[in-house]
Amino acid sequence: MTPIMPKADAAELVVAARIRKKLSWSDIAAEIDAPLVWCVAALLGQHPMSAAQAERVCALLDLDAAVGESLQLQPARGIDPAMLSDPTIYRFQEALAVYGPAIKELIHEEFGDGIMSAINFNVDIRRRQDPDGDRVVVTFDGKFLDYRW
Amino acid sequence: MTPIMPKADAAELVVAARIRKKLSWSDIAAEIDAPLVWCVAALLGQHPMSAAQAERVCALLDLDAAVGESLQLQPARGIDPAMLSDPTIYRFQEALAVYGPAIKELIHEEFGDGIMSAINFNVDIRRRQDPDGDRVVVTFDGKFLDYRW
Amino acid sequence: MTPIMPKADAAELVVAARIRKKLSWSDIAAEIDAPLVWCVAALLGQHPMSAAQAERVCALLDLDAAVGESLQLQPARGIDPAMLSDPTIYRFQEALAVYGPAIKELIHEEFGDGIMSAINFNVDIRRRQDPDGDRVVVTFDGKFLDYRW
Amino acid sequence: MTPIMPKADAAELVVAARIRKKLSWSDIAAEIDAPLVWCVAALLGQHPMSAAQAERVCALLDLDAAVGESLQLQPARGIDPAMLSDPTIYRFQEALAVYGPAIKELIHEEFGDGIMSAINFNVDIRRRQDPDGDRVVVTFDGKFLDYRW
Amino acid sequence: MTPIMPKADAAELVVAARIRKKLSWSDIAAEIDAPLVWCVAALLGQHPMSAAQAERVCALLDLDAAVGESLQLQPARGIDPAMLSDPTIYRFQEALAVYGPAIKELIHEEFGDGIMSAINFNVDIRRRQDPDGDRVVVTFDGKFLDYRW
Amino acid sequence: MTPIMPKADAAELVVAARIRKKLSWSDIAAEIDAPLVWCVAALLGQHPMSAAQAERVCALLDLDAAVGESLQLQPARGIDPAMLSDPTIYRFQEALAVYGPAIKELIHEEFGDGIMSAINFNVDIRRRQDPDGDRVVVTFDGKFLDYRW
Amino acid sequence: MTPIMPKADAAELVVAARIRKKLSWSDIAAEIDAPLVWCVAALLGQHPMSAAQAERVCALLDLDAAVGESLQLQPARGIDPAMLSDPTIYRFQEALAVYGPAIKELIHEEFGDGIMSAINFNVDIRRRQDPDGDRVVVTFDGKFLDYRW
Amino acid sequence: MTPIMPKADAAELVVAARIRKKLSWSDIAAEIDAPLVWCVAALLGQHPMSAAQAERVCALLDLDAAVGESLQLQPARGIDPAMLSDPTIYRFQEALAVYGPAIKELIHEEFGDGIMSAINFNVDIRRRQDPDGDRVVVTFDGKFLDYRW
Amino acid sequence: MTPIMPKADAAELVVAARIRKKLSWSDIAAEIDAPLVWCVAALLGQHPMSAAQAERVCALLDLDAAVGESLQLQPARGIDPAMLSDPTIYRFQEALAVYGPAIKELIHEEFGDGIMSAINFNVDIRRRQDPDGDRVVVTFDGKFLDYRW
Amino acid sequence: MTPIMPKADAAELVVAARIRKKLSWSDIAAEIDAPLVWCVAALLGQHPMSAAQAERVCALLDLDAAVGESLQLQPARGIDPAMLSDPTIYRFQEALAVYGPAIKELIHEEFGDGIMSAINFNVDIRRRQDPDGDRVVVTFDGKFLDYRW
């Protein structure tokens, strides 16, 4: 009996295969017909894949079955704290520090006492062209949940 | 000579006046013709207001000039760490922990090596109606900045 | 214009009045016809009360209107970290440290990939008599939310 | 002489065998006739098993004797701090942050000065069907211990 | 209505009165017929006193009724973290760092899987004369609690 | 040349051998004629053993000479912070949080300005029978050291 | 006898006076004939001023003598940790995280084993015009100190 | 399939080869015609290199292709926190603690509300000869970005 | 009854009086015939003074009796963590980080297993003239204490 | 190509060889004619050795050339935080907590505004015989550096 390959190891092998085969994340997402951000998050270890999805990813990337088994495992979700200071990720932290309390005020004004779900939730990222420089547009879209006793 | 009123104290007075006068954040933003999230963030102490904006806010809310002076002050930006565990704000933290590395991968795939600016940046929040329960939709929109030596 | 009384100050006044008037938490919950744990949490600053609830609490406890105004305020939720090491609260932390991963496994086995909501949620506490010493029974009851993109 | 297999390694092998053999946690608990949450916690390393229990688990899962030896070891209890931000576990933390002080007040009101034991203690988890969505119900049940000099 | 005096403020007043009246802690403990360490801990804010005890302490020390009311309050127990580096207290921390795991081994060897209660518990401190220099002898005495599901 | 086996590795081998040979810690302490708590602490890596002691321990437990060499090494003392939240050890932490400042007051009252040494120091642990449940009695006994310039 | 005004309070009064009198930091630096960054740092509490400098600052800003006394006080230097996440300051932190080890390599290659002094040290900040947007140029200039036993 | 060599491992091999071949960092930067600080930062893992640059570095240093593949990988940027207390790096931290708020004031005075970019940014380090001891001169040069909604 | 003045407040008043009366720390130490470092540490709140010492200090500095009462109070010793990053104090921290393990090795080589006492201990600071720049010489002198069970 | 042996690994081999060959640190320092504390610190990884020194150490201790190469490497200086709570090292930390602010006051009184260098610096440790028990005397001797713009 051997342990299941840790999801972090599976993610490293996916990343290596993706680069060496010169595939984009979109190519992989298209192969399994999944939303792009969800697919990348799942391959990096944040969501379990179905057996079918895991098999098609492994076939596309020539990865062996141990990777596919790992991709189906229920994850313990979260981020390596060191990643939070990577500048590309940190800017989102900073935006949350500057605008978080304002967003909270406006959620309560519009919806009442409750939260945006992070579970019934999706994220979208796209490029918006702009003559002053193209823009990264990231949309967080979650069901409103009101405090309900 | 007295110190300028701290922005946190000014924010508390703005909040108190807004509630007692039964004004919405949108009413205030409309009065000064400013984007909604920007306006709330500024009144909570994260952006300096112009003299004209500060005066109109104080007039609308019957606040005295010391509040207006404070609203114009250049802020030291950031969030009280205790606020990060408020559930309404925490869900954004959690979403960043789950999807941050995926967002990073996709920014680099689409734009190359760089970041979404948090300075040349805006946030929008809106309600999207949905038969399964309305949704909170928050859009982060920042200029892409590539690493350029 | 004065700021709204902080919820922590209102809570201290509620606690003082409750003790001096020799009322139990149950007396107060009965007065406003609210669930017991919800009522205590609200008075300690974790939920906003309706105007009617706040007024009846203030009338019962002879507290002035500034307390009632504070009780209706939208809270920033959370706990003073120092409270987490109070032995009565710490035992719940410890139970979570010992049984949290097991609970996670069993939620996933029974419900699939998702969480127990802490928003659509209630808590109940009761005494269960036992010849070996009575027991504290605390029940967390939250809607299951599955990860849904 | 070799060291005893760390309980974390034993837990990984148990998890891998359980998945590959398509057994549920309940199947294992039934095999050793133990309460479900206790059994999962023990297999994840939080309780020592008896020799008989360890042997039957290893027989059921085809694990070798080194795993069984490890399962009998007295544990150093606790949780990897990174696990506390897994969303499924975090919601319990959040509930404790919101309701912990209220629970403390009510324990003292009902029982006097003391605590719920986390040692003479059990946890139960069950699904409660509900037309608005099934619910996760977790019950903490511990003997009351009064401060007694 | 005024809040109840915080236990930390009451403790400061007790300490000041004790010093100015040249009373020892033993004098106070004798007055209320309580164990010495318990009494000092209670006056420093770690245990609630009965009304009778609080009154006699206030009478002995000429403190007003607000102090007595505070002494009866249910405490939130714990220590200011800064105090843990005071050398007199730190040596106990250090002893726990050096001998804690050995004590754990021996509790399990002698008693089985469980803990020493810190609730059904008392502490005693005494001077032991020794030709090489007198010794501080502190005894922790707690009921053994075995893990019992 | 190879490095000396780390004391943590030596401790793991001692623990494994002790369990497999069904020896108690007392058996080992008796073999080397050392105080019980000291002996366990030393074997867990907190004190250097003499060459003679190390040899007799290795002989008793059938451990090879590399373990004996490690047991004689001067230690870097301290505890893995994760161990501090093990419930059996944590209760001592909690007792220190609740009673530490009281103990400090009483040391100063009885001895003047100074500390209990944690170096010229011993710990004893014993079982005290009690009809209400046997008790763990742990005695810290250290030389008083007064601040002396 | 009153304490000397804390340097943080003096800094707040200097900032308030500077803004209300519509003076720039350069105006103040010119008045006391001091380097610009040094002058601002000193007024914010990081360097002691001479009596003559402090008097001229107070005269220029109509501040009373207590401010001047404070400005001459020997400081305890350092930064409020909350300021480190202000975006304007954080970018320097980030640059240090990205380039610090490279700077270390190059200091050792060019100068040998040692450091850039932060004591025999000055900082200059200037605007450099650039058609792609003006630039902030900050120069750290410190004496090299080699490790010398 | 094997994972891509971690950038930290590639950096160690670059450092080892550079020392054993007695090449300076300048020699390497010259070989790939890149700015010196950028080149060292990239080789230490903070910037991706182009394929051509990576190949020439590997050729110069006799490193195999796996190193070159790693050097082209998109990095997760940041610093090992332990490095921040290395004295050569710490002096920059200290300078930021002492002068950071002053630099912030002067950026706002000169440029308005905004930041120095750490992305459109370069660093230069040079030796300035001085009769009192040569000086390390480090220049941070970043585009000013104003807060722009 | 009023609380005893906190030692931090007494220290601020001593510092203010010392500066305004243009007395040196040596003048005060001479007045009470105490070692210089001990005297400064005591006045900053780290040692209790005798009644006679406290009175003479107050007479010399024209401070009222409440300061004298505070100076006699048994202290809770320790340092404000913010002070540890003041550069003058930090250099000692840095020296300890660089040389601490070497000092430990040499204490054990010369004295055996034990420590330098920080209680039976004194510190001396003096200027040593040197043509290359005068030097600060700080001597820590503590009794060796061997681990003795 | 292999990486250079980490200095921590080299230090472990030096320690092992020193013990097995029954050499004292003084023997090694004498062999390379270096100050004792400097030599130990260098061998533990805090200073680079010259090629000649490294070779003589390796010859004396029969260590192979890879150790010698490592000893010459430029170090990243600092201490494993876990070592700071080793009692032998902690006492220096404690002394700094108790006397640090007093030392700072006296450096400023004697030398003006500046610091003791930790770079142009040496440490000496010696035994001073004393009828009440021998003493550890550690002298920190660093050049005074005044703040000089």
Per-residue pLDDT of chain A (149 residues; tens, 9 = 90+): 899 999 999 999 999 999 999 999 999 999 999 999 999 999 999 999 999 999 999 999 999 999 999 999 999 999 999 999 999 999 999 999 999 999 999 999 999 999 999 999 999 999 999 999 999 999 999 999 999 99
DSSP E102: H
In a domain, G77, yes or no: no
In a domain, D59, yes or no: yes
D139 HSE (CA, 13 A, CB side)? 14
Is the pLDDT at F37 greater than 90, yes or no?
Answer: yes
Residues of B in contact with A101 (CB under 8 A): 41, 44, 79, 83, 89
* Residue reference for tokens 């408020």: B86
Q: 10 Å Cβ neighbour count for D134?
A: 14
In a domain, G2, yes or no: no
Give the whole-number percent of chain D exceeding pLDDT 70: 100
- d(Cα J99, Cα B84) in Å, to the nearest integer? 37
Q: Within this chain, do residues D67 and D95 fall inside the same structural domain, yes or no?
A: no
Q: Within this chain, do residues J98 and J53 fall inside the same structural domain, yes or no?
A: no
Domain boundary (H17, H39, H71) is at: H71
B27 in contact with chain A, both atoms CB, cutoff 8 A: no
SS3 assignment, position G44: coil
Domain boundary (A31, A51, A71) is at: A71
Q: Within this chain, do residues J89 and J67 fall inside the same structural domain, yes or no?
A: no
Give the whole-number percent of chain H exceeding pLDDT 90: 99
Is the pLDDT at E124 greater than 90, yes or no?
Answer: yes
First to last CA, chain G: 46
- d(Cα C116, Cα C94) in Å, to the nearest integer? 19
Amino acid in the structure at residue H41: A
pLDDT at A80: 96
Residue D18 to chain C, least CA–CA distance (Å): 12
Assigned token pair, J8: 């921590």
Of the partner residues D12, D61, D62, the one whose CB lies closest to the CB of residue A3: D12
Determine phi and psi for J65, rounding to 5 degrees: -65, -25
Those chains having 3 or more beta-carbon pairs within 8 angstroms of chain H are: A, B, G, I, J
Would the CB atoms of C15 and E3 count as touching at under 8 Å?
A: yes
Average pLDDT (G55-79) is 98
Please choose, from the candidates J37, I3, C81, F134, the residue with its C-alpha nearest in 3D space to the C-alpha of residue E115. Answer: F134
Q: Dihedral sign for Cα E4, E9, E11, E16, please.
A: negative
Residue C91 designated active-site: yes
Those chains having 3 or more beta-carbon pairs within 8 angstroms of chain E are: C, D, F, I, J
Residues of H in contact with B117 (CB under 8 A): 145
Question: What residues 56-85 of chain H have any CB closer than 8 A to a CB of chain G?
Answer: 77-79, 83-84
Are the C-beta atoms of C119 and A147 separated by less than 8 Å? yes
Residue J52 to chain H, least CA–CA distance (Å): 16
For residue D110, give the CATH number of its domain: 3.30.1160.10
Q: How far is CA I10 from CA F60, G3, I36, J69, J144, in A?
A: 62, 9, 18, 56, 30
Please choose, from the candidates H85, I133, H138, the residue with its C-alpha nearest in 3D space to the C-alpha of residue G121. Answer: H138
Assigned token pair, G54: 């402090």
Residue J86 to chain G, least CA–CA distance (Å): 26
Would the CB atoms of J38 and G108 count as touching at under 8 Å?
A: no
Q: How far is CA F36 from the centre of its chain?
A: 8
B88 in contact with chain D, both atoms CB, cutoff 8 A: no
Is B62 buried (19+), middle (13-18) or exposed (0-12) by CB count in 10 A? exposed
Comparing alpha-carbon positions, the chain E residue that sits nearest to I73 is E19
SS3 assignment, position J80: coil
Residues of A in contact with H119 (CB under 8 A): 87
Q: Which residues, given as ranges, of chain J have pLDDT below 50?
A: none
- d(Cα G98, Cα H125) in Å, to the nearest integer? 15
Annotated catalytic residue within G26, G94, G105, G126: G94
Average pLDDT (F13-29) is 98
Q: Within this chain, do residues E20 and E54 fall inside the same structural domain, yes or no?
A: yes
Considering only CA atoms, give the Rg of chain H.
18
Residues of A in contact with D9 (CB under 8 A): 3
SS3 assignment, position G144: strand
Residue F148 to chain D, least CA–CA distance (Å): 36
In a domain, G30, yes or no: yes
Q: Which tens digit of pLDDT belongs to each residue from I42-57?
A: 999 999 999 999 999 9
- d(Cα H43, Cα H23) in Å, to the nearest integer? 14
In a domain, D102, yes or no: yes
Where are the strands (E) in chain J, listed by range?
Answer: 114-128, 135-146
For residue E21, give the CATH number of its domain: 1.10.260.40
Residue H72 to chain I, least CA–CA distance (Å): 36
Q: Which residues of A are catalytic?
A: 91, 94, 117
Q: Within this chain, do residues G89 and G68 fall inside the same structural domain, yes or no?
A: no
pLDDT at D1: 82
Comparing alpha-carbon positions, the chain I residue that sits nearest to F75 is I113
Is J121 buried (19+), middle (13-18) or exposed (0-12) by CB count in 10 A? buried
Determine phi and psi for D3, rounding to 5 degrees: -65, 160
pLDDT at A1: 83
Q: Within this chain, do residues F67 and F91 fall inside the same structural domain, yes or no?
A: no
In a domain, A60, yes or no: yes
H/E stretch holding C97: helix C87-111
H6 in contact with chain G, both atoms CB, cutoff 8 A: no
DSSP H39: H
F122 in contact with chain I, both atoms CB, cutoff 8 A: yes
Would the CB atoms of H1 and A19 count as touching at under 8 Å?
A: no
- d(Cα C59, Cα D17) in Å, to the nearest integer? 62
J15 in contact with chain F, both atoms CB, cutoff 8 A: yes
Q: Dihedral sign for Cα I55, I58, I59, I60, please.
A: positive
Would the CB atoms of H4 and A13 count as touching at under 8 Å?
A: no
Please choose, from the candidates F124, F66, G112, A136, the residue with its C-alpha nearest in 3D space to the C-alpha of residue B105. Answer: A136
Q: How far is CA E48 from CA B110, C70, E38, E51, E103, in A?
A: 63, 29, 10, 9, 30
Residue B94 designated active-site: yes
Of the partner residues B9, B62, B86, the one whose CB lies closest to the CB of residue C77: B86
Are the C-beta atoms of E61 and E14 separated by less than 8 Å? yes
Q: Which tens digit of pLDDT belongs to each residue from G115-148?
A: 999 999 999 999 999 999 999 999 999 999 999 9
Are the C-beta atoms of B139 and A139 separated by less than 8 Å? yes
Q: 10 Å Cβ neighbour count for H99?
A: 28
Are the C-beta atoms of E131 and E105 separated by less than 8 Å? no
Give the whole-number percent of chain G exceeding pLDDT 90: 99
In a domain, F99, yes or no: yes
Please choose, from the candidates D90, A42, B96, A35, the residue with its C-alpha nearest in 3D space to the C-alpha of residue C149. Answer: A35
pLDDT at D74: 98
Q: Within this chain, do residues A103 and A58 fall inside the same structural domain, yes or no?
A: no
Residue H56 designated active-site: no
Are the C-beta atoms of B40 and B47 separated by less than 8 Å? no
Domain span holding position B38 = 7-71
Is the pLDDT at D107 greater than 90, yes or no?
Answer: yes
Are the C-beta atoms of G49 and B34 separated by less than 8 Å? no
Please choose, from the candidates A148, A100, A98, the residue with its C-alpha nearest in 3D space to the C-alpha of residue C76. Answer: A100
How does residue G108 score in pLDDT terms, banded at 50, 70 and 90? Answer: very high
H/E stretch holding B143: strand B135-146
DSSP readout, B86-149? SHHHHHHHHHHHHHHHHHHHHHHHHH-SEEEEEEEEEEEEEEE--TT--EEEEEEEEEEEE-B-
Q: Within this chain, do residues E61 and E104 fall inside the same structural domain, yes or no?
A: no
- d(Cα A110, Cα A124) in Å, to the nearest integer? 22
Q: Within this chain, do residues C67 and C87 fall inside the same structural domain, yes or no?
A: no
Is the pLDDT at G104 greater than 90, yes or no?
Answer: yes
pLDDT at A95: 98
SS3 assignment, position C48: coil
Those chains having 3 or more beta-carbon pairs within 8 angstroms of chain C are: A, B, D, E, F
Q: How far is CA F79 from CA E89, F84, G63, J95, in A?
A: 17, 8, 54, 22
Q: Within this chain, do residues C11 and C63 fall inside the same structural domain, yes or no?
A: yes
Residue D134 to chain A, least CA–CA distance (Å): 15
Domain boundary (I24, I53, I71) is at: I71
Is the pLDDT at H34 greater than 90, yes or no?
Answer: yes
Q: Within this chain, do residues H11 and H58 fall inside the same structural domain, yes or no?
A: yes
SS3 assignment, position H59: helix
Is the pLDDT at G1 greater than 90, yes or no?
Answer: no
In a domain, A136, yes or no: yes
Q: Within this chain, do residues G59 and G105 fall inside the same structural domain, yes or no?
A: no
> How many structural domains does chain C have?
2
Residues of I in contact with J74 (CB under 8 A): none
pLDDT at B1: 83
